[in-house]
Amino acid sequence: MSEGIQYTLDSIAFGSLFAVMAIGLALLFNVMGLMNFAYGELIMAGAYTMYYTRGSGWLGMIAMTVIVVTALSLLMELVAFRPLRNASPITLLVSSFAVSYSLQAVGWMTVGKGPQKGVEPYPWLTRQLDVSGVLVSRLTIITVITTIVLLAAMTLLLKRTTLGIQLRASTEDFRMAQLVGVKANWVISAAFAITGLLGSAVALLYVLRSGSVSPDIGLGPLLVAFVGGVIGGLGSLAGAALGGFVLGAIINALQATLPITLKSHTQLFAFLAVIAILVFQPGGLVALRGGFLRRFSRRRRPADEGVEA
Amino acid sequence: MIGALRSGGPMVRRSWAPAFLCCWLVLTWVLVEAFGDFFYTATAVRMFLLLIVVLGLQIFSGNSGVLSFGHVSFMAIGAYSSALLTIPTEIKDFTFLTMPNILKSWVFPAQLGTLEGTLAGAGFALVFALIVAAPIVRLAGVQAGIGTLAVLVIVQVFIVQTSAITRGTSTMIGVPHTTAFAHVLVWVLIFLVVAFVFQGSRFGLRLRASRENERAARSVGVRVSVERAIAWTLSGFVVGVGGALYGHYYETFGPRDFYFNTNGLDIVLLPIAMLVVGGMTSVTGAVTGCYLVMVVYSAFNRLEVNGLLGAKAPSGTTNLVLAFVLLVTLVLRPRGITGGSEIPWPSEWRLPRRRRPALPSEPRSDPEQRGRPA
């Protein structure tokens, strides 16, 4: 029983990482039609920043990681995606491959050289607390709290600030938003900065959890967040977050509980389910639901279901 | 006479672009065979194998406008099934000890020749494409991307897990080396013509109409799903042949050859990048993109391996430069080098204009599309 609760809590923590990541992907997708494959490299950058700054105390490490990842995200926009602002989504996608490639190549050439590196988590983070028989590590609690804080902050930002209103307007209709005075550069840079902040949080929590660091660290989480985001509904931030969360949590739960022989076949069936969901609910699972989840999502229009690529 | 040639009859004009590209490919082959060392030959074969994949992708994605990450799975199926049917029986006896009897009874004695093996492999890929076509053709946009990615993952997991048939994560051994450079060339030429014929056929035209405006196409009676399924299946066959040739050229291969590869030539993402950089709506674009990427790749790879004037480039330069070239090309020409059109008739050659007027047919960027009132 207590073991079951432990697994559940752990899966919640793992899933919430992907919820945060999927929000970043969905934000960029809605604002400029970009499926950002280079998002994984933000995590890579964060991981290496952590590796090199771990000695300077946890506060310094967090500050440096946030700064580096956000700066990289903004730089990415400035160099690669700003000149392509009006290009088709497929062109944007391929340019994000290119960005991802180049950052990975830089990673392999500089910090990724030599033996496998790792970030050793602080002992006080992994210590397990005993709550009436259930063992919970502090990292799990911190992950969940961080996610809740980030989601709340995102909600407040989108609802209460001018920037949030501009962002929401741009996700609804980018051209119209520009016509009524929203600055395109400002909104897109802001979206990338938010993505960077979220990415740095994911990097910090993910690396403290897994420990190892390598230039291709980003690909795995990126794919999970992508698939989760799309089945949840990349058209809405809440939908994407929920999709990422559920997929991440399920993957973690299955990996913890299933024997190895079954594990990989489960992946096969999981992806069959993904295809089924896409065919029967192209707008994502959440798109049909009402309530608070939809508050920040775009209005669902039948024409949007198959977003032309 | 000269006037007639200059303007060209309809048949001459129509066959101009495929003829030009065929000559170009044959010229490449001749030059590499005549002057190339081992390195160049290997690179050129690799390029032609990738070109088959890019042509397959062009047949589907280029004409339908739907993105696919899943075509490499056809390659895997082509490679594995062709290998299973051509590996000598005595090798199969000790490499596939646990194969179920139902398969054993006909797979073990099978010893197909080069052509039959390739065709059988491609046939299996075609059947598989036909099966997965049903759900995939109903998707578009990001959903199609994720759906085809799911196909890729499913095939990958199947290959890794079903070690009785595929040897799992171990490599296939004993695959007869029956592919020569010339074979690959012939297949590339065939598929180049196929891609052109398909593009101009009624199926291709209907599919391209649906790419430009799906609702308008539907309203004049185009069954978009059916047209997409036809292109998807055809491209499955094409890429399946590519996979079979791949197997018979490299002799050993494993599941990782047909999946994301983060350190080197990525066979999943690179063909897509080639197609888009060249200009995905034209066959000329497919060829151009493939050449651009492979020339940059091999030049810098060679610089890494052999060095120039005694100085070697640090390893990793290739990918960095390749990514940079891709990015710069896309920034300068967002619709690809060719802009998505075929190579024009010689008398119509002119310098590219700075700004092309936006055609109504141009695939627009997403944010604009979303702005339509429903």
Residue range B63-112, pLDDT digits in tens: 998 889 889 999 999 999 998 888 887 777 777 777 777 777 777 777 77
Q: Is residue B354 in a domain? A: no
Please tell me the pTM assigned to this model. 0.83
Decide if B214 contacts B138 (C-beta within 8 A): no
| Same domain (yes/no): B108, B208 | yes
Q: State the DSSP code for B314.
A: P
Is the domain of B232 the same as that of B304? no
In three-state secondary structure terms, A112 is coil
Sign of CA dihedral B275, B279, B281, B282: negative
**Inside any domain, residue B368:** no
Domain that holds residue B301: 262-347
Mean pLDDT check: name the lowest of A254-268, B102-116, B307-321: A254-268
Compute the nearest-CA separation of B2 from chain A (Å).
Answer: 42
Same domain, B184 and B309: no
* Strand (E) or helix (H) holding A273: helix A260-280
Same domain, yes or no: B151 and B205: yes
Q: Are residues B225 and B332 in the same domain?
A: no
Q: Are the Cβ atoms of B146 and A173 closer than 8 angstroms?
A: no
Please answer yes or no on whether B371 and A278 come within 8 Å at the CB atom. Answer: no
Q: Does A307 touch chain B (CB under 8 A)?
A: yes
B90 and B133 both lie in a single domain: yes
Pick from B57, B142, B330 the residue to mutate for testing the A interface (most A CBs within 10 Å). B142
Q: Which of B259, B277, B306 is the last residue of a domain?
A: B259
For the ranges B7-21, B160-174, B293-307, B336-350, the maximum mean pLDDT occurs at B293-307
B232 and B269 both lie in a single domain: no
Which of B235, B259, B283 corresponds to the end of one domain?
A: B259
Q: Is residue B167 part of a domain?
A: yes
B336 in a structural domain:
yes
> ipTM beyond 0.90?
no
Report whether A199 contacts A42 (CB < 8 A): yes
Count structural domains, chain B: 2
Confidence of residue B234 (pLDDT cuts 50, 70, 90): very high
All domains of chain A in start order, with CATH = 2-304 (1.10.3470)
Taking contacts as CB-CB distances below 8 angstroms, the residues of chain A near B372 are 303
Residue B128: the pLDDT is 94
Alpha carbon B108 to its chain centroid, in Å, reads 31
Regarding whether B237 and B335 lie in a shared domain, the answer is: no
* One domain for residues B41 and B77: yes
Q: Within an 8 Å CB–CB cutoff, is residue B229 touching chain A?
A: no
A87, A106, A267 member nearest B365 (Cβ): A87
B361 confidence band (pLDDT: 50, 70, 90):
very low
Which tokens in the block code for residue B171?
A: 């490599």
- Do B196 and B320 reside in the same domain of the chain? no
Structural domain contains residue B5: no
Q: A274: distance to nearest CA of chain B, Å?
A: 7
Whether residues B170 and B299 fall in one domain: no
In a domain, B80, yes or no: yes
Q: Does residue B214 share a domain with residue B341? A: no
Whether residue B2 is contained in a domain is answered as: no
Q: Is residue B355 part of a domain?
A: no
pLDDT band at A261 (very low <50, low <70, confident <90, very high): low
- Inter-chain touch B367–A172, beta carbons under 8 Å: no
